[in-house]
Amino acid sequence: MDKNINITLKVWRQKGPKAKGAFETYKLKNVSQSSSFLEMLDVLNEQLVSEGKEPVAFDHDCREGICGMCSLYINGHPHGPDTSVTTCQLHMRKFDDGAVITVEPWRSAGFPVIRDLMVDRYAFDKIIQAGGFVSVNTGGVPDANAIPIPKKNADLAMDAAACIGCGACVAACKNGSAMLFVSAKVSQLALLPQGQVEAARRAKAMVAKMDELGFGNCTNTRACEAQCPKEVSISNIARLNREYIVAKLKD
Amino acid sequence: MTQINSKIPEGPLADKWRNYKDHQKLVNPANKRRLDVIVVGTGLAGASAAASLAELGFNVLNFCIQDSPRRAHSIAAQGGINAAKNYQNDGDSVYRLFYDTIKGGDYRAREANVYRLAEVSNSIIDQCVAQGVPFAREYGGLLDNRSFGGAQVSRTFYARGQTGQQLLLGAYSALSRQIGLGRVKLYKRHEMLDVVTIEGRARGIIARDLVSGKLVRFAAHAVVVATGGYVNTFFLSTNAMGSNGSAAWQCYKKGAWFANPCYVQIHPTCIPVHGEFQSKLTLMSESLRNDGRIWVPKKLEDAAAIRSGQLKPTQIKEEDRDYYLERRYPAFGNLVPRDVASRAAKERCDAGYGVGSGLAVYLDFADAISRLGRKVVEERYGNLFQMYEKIVNDNPYETPMMIFPALHYSMGGLWVDYELMTSIPGLFAIGEANFSDHGANRLGASALMQGLADGYFVLPYTIQNYLADQIQVPRFKTDAPEFAACEKQISERIARLMSIKGKRSVDSLHKELGHIMWEHIGMARNADGLRKAIDMLKQLKSEFWSNVLIPGSGADLNVELEKALRLADFIEIGELMARDSLDRQESCGGHFREEYQTPEGEALRQDEKHSYVSCWEYNGDNEPLMLKESLDYEFIVRQQRNYKN
């Protein structure tokens, strides 16, 4: 049964990208365990505002685990201690009375801090812009059932497409690698006949962009997979490597 | 009744759109490069429009308030998208999709618009498949379908419980391709605060860079607003935290008519409210009603025992359960439209049969699990069941889900003509931001259809009919006096908000607004309550403008200021919703006036008096004016909606 708990928060505060940041400690009383982690931060911010202080800046939007906007490195885990959820779906029942909770932004060279817990993940968009699409214009495409696709491939493509672009994989990785993110998109499109036409070009372009933007190499430690809120599998990285090698061999 | 020209093309219903396209003006490729279009929003409508316009050769400036275009709230749509493909050979057709949508909207939408929507629905599925959207498939490799409310055919295409996500990522990939090619310039973390008009035409916007806090001017030959709906007026809704009605509201204040504000949709299957800190409500997809059965206990004492924790739902015998939708609506059963299902849940809870806190009913999968096996149910709804379990801490495979209606979608919005242009020339509105296709109630899986229809297949045509006359107009400079005046007004508004330094947080005032809305302008409305609400909203407005507290500075990243600017508009939107509800002395779709119901408690329309679109015109500090666009049904006969037999 959910109850109310008292907690201590250590929250990273940083005025801007260049400013020096530090942890601030806050105490919160009577937090309902039924509330989500972000609702708990709402309560903290309400308290700060009422004291005339600036609230903690953090990204969030849909609050149902799909938009990928919320982030937060909680007690050393991207999206906190629960598995297969984003921070917005993490609930306070995962914490005990008297808990000390450390909250940090994603820490990665690819994601500079904007303010407090808010980071800039535009690098992910740039990688998609480099090749994460099928080059078709609106209109003039064949009937949707013209090309049958084996259910197994469609399902695997969907598994990869479930990526929400939150960046937890990068935050979890010691090298700050974006391989899981890149491989999910490359796999989704390589598994479908519509995407196969450009598969080689796509794999090369996206990997090149990822390297250019300062993301590190894959560590092969599977930390990304373990922390991914959508359980995107590292088998996608294996598929990306295959696609990439084949593409390079063709050059 | 005022004659409003909605520019419906002549001819038989099935020929109108083709006739329009055959005769509209176009812009040649060389001229397209010289024309700039602003698209505000990157959801299904905004992203698909921005990508398609750029593919055609226009210069597009695209804006979103989030850190990436992929975050737009279309991403959260779960269940599916309708199309009249008739792949299932179950009798579907363009006409039937048109008819179901008109009927589902309780005969308050334009026939020509809805027919066009049904017509282009098939192209949307083709387009998405070509983009690599991984729709669900059968073992033979062809696309699978399921059923949604208000239809007797299976015409809904889906990608597990994440259809909105996959469709949005498809549109986002098309948009990303155009950004990479340099044809779309993207402005992320930018919020449109006003539209700039020059000589009566929309010529640009003023946006606030949410990171630096600076106001920035942007000029273009046309402006497209794709900023979604306004149900966050209610504070608690299924919309994202940032979803707001401000862009549309500022267009209204510049002279664009706001149509049918009273039509909002209350979705029957959401996770019930847990407490006062709740920040939003989570939807459980309508697709669950394909296999889930909705019930409450038949006996009041059982309901009371469940509420006090003495009985579990699984202990209630089959004969003591009231499957009230199957009882009341045998023909459609659990798949009645959303407005009907929501009111039926409220009726049972008001009568004392509610479970949980008293404001909840059961959605039970026991039958489906014994019929299909747990694996099949998991395949169909696994992510939704997981989401439910994480939020509620209850396993829906073993015990029924608890659900309750919640605010979900706004059918009302900026008035647009057949070309999707508002009453301000050069200002267009697409997707949920406009009012056009869903009448008084939207059917499930039709929002994705409409957003993408507008963005991929309608606006890219109709906007050219306007832009063809603009090819001689040189690019605008943003130092024009109209831009300066508009920016000055916004700076003053921000300065005024910052200077209040009162005692109340934005959220506390927003919650108060939500209570007024839910109490008086929610699922059941009446004249007394609405009048009272208008007074209360006026008081709340003055409380807001005299007692809100916003820390920090206006010229900096300031989340509280962002929320305050939106809340100022929500309060005014709420008042217009109340006015519109008061005017509409009938019940139709999502608008239920207690004074107008059949003896069985169904919505009772007043076609003689209220067969119109209410178009509200801003009138400064005075009461707004209302114009009426008459809805004349040429092709189908209006009936009392019947889902019983």
Does the pLDDT of residue A126 top 80, yes or no? yes
Helix and strand counts by DSSP (H, E) for chain A: 9, 7
Amino acid at position B634, single letter: E
Does the pLDDT of residue B391 top 60, yes or no? yes
How near does any CA of chain B get to the CA of A182, in Å?
13
How near does any CA of chain B get to the CA of A111, in Å?
12
pLDDT for residue B269: 94
Instruction: Please give the residue of chain A at the shortest CA–CA distance from B168.
Output: A67
How near does any CA of chain A get to the CA of B166, in Å?
7
d(CA B242, CA A64): 13
B371: annotated active-site residue:
no
If asked whether residues A126 and A110 sit together in one domain, one would say no
In tens, the pLDDT along A85-105 reads 999 999 999 999 999 999 999
Q: Which residues pair with B218 in a beta bridge?
A: B205
Instruction: Please give the residue of chain B at the shortest CA–CA distance from A69.
Output: B71
In tens, the pLDDT along B119-175 reads 999 999 999 999 999 999 999 999 999 988 888 899 999 998 899 999 999 999 999
Does the pLDDT of residue B193 top 70, yes or no? yes
- For residue B28, count CB atoms less than 10 angstroms from its CB and return exposed for 0-12, middle for 13-18, buried for 19 or more: exposed
In tens, the pLDDT along B503-527 reads 999 999 999 999 999 999 999 999 9
Nearest to B277 among A43, A48, A121 (CB): A43
In tens, the pLDDT along B237-256 reads 999 999 999 999 999 999 99
Touching check for A109 and chain B: CB below 8 Å? no
| C-beta atoms of B70 and A120 within 8 A | no
pLDDT for residue B286: 86
Nearest to A61 among B169, B240, B456 (CB): B240
If asked whether residues A187 and A235 sit together in one domain, one would say yes
Structure tokens at B338: 């959303």
| Residues of chain A neighbouring B169 (CB-CB closer than 8 A) | 161
Nearest to A161 among B67, B166, B386 (CB): B166
If asked whether residues A145 and A232 sit together in one domain, one would say yes
Mean pLDDT for B196-223 is 98
If asked whether residues A128 and A244 sit together in one domain, one would say yes
Touching check for B530 and chain A: CB below 8 Å? no
Mean pLDDT for A157-167 is 98
Structure tokens at B365: 């999968």
Nearest to B176 among A57, A82, A125 (CB): A125
**DSSP output for B253-269:** HTT--EE-TT-EEEEEE
For chain B, positions 164-183, list CB contacts with chain A under 8 A.
164-166, 169, 172-174, 176-177, 179-180
* Overall residue count recorded for chain B in this entry: 645
Amino acid at position A169, single letter: C
pLDDT for residue B227: 98
- Per 3-state DSSP, what percentage of chain B is helix, strand, and coil (rounded to 5)? 45, 15, 40
Q: Quickly count: other Cβ atoms within 10 Å of residue A143's Cβ.
A: 14
If asked whether residues A130 and A109 sit together in one domain, one would say no
**Residue with token string 């609230």:** A55
| Residues of chain B neighbouring A114 (CB-CB closer than 8 A) | 211, 557
Confidence tier at B624 by pLDDT (50, 70, 90) = very high
How near does any CA of chain B get to the CA of A18, in Å?
14
Asked if B78 contacts B162 with a C-beta cutoff of 8 angstroms, the reply is yes
Structure tokens at A203: 């794999």
Give the rounded distance of the alpha carbon of B29 from its chain centre.
34
Nearest to B165 among A66, A93, A128 (CB): A66
Touching check for A212 and chain B: CB below 8 Å? no
Does the pLDDT of residue B2 top 60, yes or no? no
| C-beta atoms of A67 and B283 within 8 A | no
| C-beta atoms of A158 and B134 within 8 A | yes
If asked whether residues A75 and A193 sit together in one domain, one would say no
Mean pLDDT for B175-180 is 98
Q: Which own/partner pairs from B134-139 qualify as long-range (CB within 8 Å, at least 24 positions apart)? A: B134/A154, B134/A155, B134/A157, B134/A158, B134/A161, B134/A188, B134/A192, B134/B159, B134/B166, B135/A144, B135/A154, B135/B159, B135/B166, B136/A154, B136/A158, B136/B160, B137/A148, B137/A149, B137/A150, B137/A151, B137/A154, B138/A151, B139/A151
**DSSP output for A143-166:** -TTSS---HHHHHHHHHHHT----
Residue ending a domain, among A81, A114, A147, is A114
If asked whether residues A28 and A107 sit together in one domain, one would say yes
Mean pLDDT for B292-309 is 96
Q: Quickly count: other Cβ atoms within 10 Å of residue A137's Cβ.
A: 16
**Could you give the percent of chain B with pLDDT greater than 70?**
100
How near does any CA of chain B get to the CA of A64, in Å?
6
Touching check for A66 and chain B: CB below 8 Å? yes
Does the pLDDT of residue A109 top 60, yes or no? yes
Mean pLDDT for B287-312 is 95
In tens, the pLDDT along B413-457 reads 999 999 999 999 999 999 999 998 999 999 999 999 999 999 999
Touching check for A158 and chain B: CB below 8 Å? yes
Residue ending a domain, among A49, A83, A114, is A114
For chain B, positions 380-409, list CB contacts with chain A under 8 A.
386-387, 390-391, 393
Q: Where are the alpha helices (DSSP H) in A51-141?
A: 122-131
For chain A, positions 69-108, list CB contacts with chain B under 8 A.
69, 82, 84-85, 89, 91, 93
Query: Cα angle vertex A62, ends A179, B355, to 5°?
Result: 125
If asked whether residues A22 and A129 sit together in one domain, one would say no
**DSSP output for B277-293:** T-----B--GGGGGT-E
Does the pLDDT of residue B645 top 80, yes or no? no
If asked whether residues A163 and A234 sit together in one domain, one would say yes
Choice among B338, B343, B380, B584 that is catalytic: B338
Q: Which residues pair with A113 in a beta bridge?
A: A119
Touching check for A213 and chain B: CB below 8 Å? no
Does the pLDDT of residue B641 top 90, yes or no? no
Confidence tier at B610 by pLDDT (50, 70, 90) = very high
Touching check for B135 and chain A: CB below 8 Å? yes
Structure tokens at B48: 């698909």
How near does any CA of chain B get to the CA of A217, in Å?
24
| C-beta atoms of A84 and B386 within 8 A | yes
Which CATH number covers residue A129?
1.10.1060.10
Residue ending a domain, among A88, A114, A140, is A114
**Residue with token string 């063809």:** B468
| C-beta atoms of B76 and A62 within 8 A | yes
Which CATH number covers residue A78?
3.10.20.30
Nearest to B557 among A115, A124, A149 (CB): A115
What Rg do the C-alpha atoms of chain A give, in angstroms? 20
Touching check for B88 and chain A: CB below 8 Å? no
Touching check for A41 and chain B: CB below 8 Å? no
d(CA A199, CA A243): 7
**Residue with token string 């209204």:** B252
Structure tokens at B431: 């997707």
Q: Which residues pair with B439 in a beta bridge?
A: none
Structure tokens at B523: 């699922």
Mean pLDDT for B467-494 is 96
- For residue B209, count CB atoms less than 10 angstroms from its CB and return exposed for 0-12, middle for 13-18, buried for 19 or more: middle
Q: What is the domain extent for residue A94?
A: 4-114
* Of B418, B375, B425, B417, residue with least CA distance to B397: B375
If asked whether residues A78 and A172 sit together in one domain, one would say no
Touching check for B67 and chain A: CB below 8 Å? yes
Nearest to B211 among A114, A125, A150 (CB): A114
Mean of per-residue pLDDT scores for chain A: 96
Asked if B178 contacts B460 with a C-beta cutoff of 8 angstroms, the reply is no
Q: What do you get for the CA distance between the two ends of chain A, in Å?
A: 61
Full set of structural domains in chain B with CATH: 267-407 (3.90.700.10), 481-612 (1.20.58.100)
d(CA A179, CA A225): 11
Q: Which residues pair with B303 in a beta bridge?
A: none
Report the SS3 class of residue B207. Answer: strand
Nearest to A158 among B159, B173, B552 (CB): B159
d(CA B168, CA B174): 10
d(CA B142, CA A144): 9
pLDDT for residue A1: 66
In tens, the pLDDT along A230-241 reads 999 999 999 999
In tens, the pLDDT along B68-121 reads 999 999 999 988 999 999 999 999 999 999 999 999 999 999 999 999 999 999
Touching check for A192 and chain B: CB below 8 Å? yes
Query: Cα angle vertex B551, ends B549, B554, to 5°?
Result: 105
If asked whether residues A102 and A132 sit together in one domain, one would say no
Asked if A62 contacts B240 with a C-beta cutoff of 8 angstroms, the reply is yes
- For residue B481, count CB atoms less than 10 angstroms from its CB and return exposed for 0-12, middle for 13-18, buried for 19 or more: exposed
Touching check for A133 and chain B: CB below 8 Å? yes
Touching check for B599 and chain A: CB below 8 Å? no
Query: Cα angle vertex A24, ends A19, A25, to 5°?
Result: 175
Asked if A192 contacts A144 with a C-beta cutoff of 8 angstroms, the reply is no
d(CA B283, CA B387): 10
Q: Quickly count: other Cβ atoms within 10 Å of residue A13's Cβ.
A: 15
In tens, the pLDDT along B329-386 reads 999 999 999 999 999 999 999 999 999 999 999 999 999 999 999 999 998 888 889 9
Structure tokens at B192: 């449109």
HEC-encoded secondary structure of B104-152: HCCCCCCHHHHHHHHHHHHHHHHHHHHHCCCCCECCCCCECCECCCCCC
Which H or E run includes B59?
strand B59-63
How near does any CA of chain B get to the CA of A151, in Å?
5
If asked whether residues A225 and A150 sit together in one domain, one would say yes
pLDDT for residue B274: 85
d(CA A183, CA A250): 20
Q: Which residues pair with B62 in a beta bridge?
A: B39, B186
**DSSP output for B609-641:** HH-EEEEEE--TTSPPEEEEEE---SSS-----
**Could you give the percent of chain B with pLDDT greater than 90?**
92
Structure tokens at B486: 């508009």
Domain count, chain A: 2
Instruction: Please give the residue of chain A at the shortest CA–CA distance from B174.
Output: A133
**Could you give the percent of chain A with pLDDT greater than 90?**
97
Touching check for A4 and chain B: CB below 8 Å? no
Touching check for A136 and chain B: CB below 8 Å? yes
Mean pLDDT for A60-89 is 96
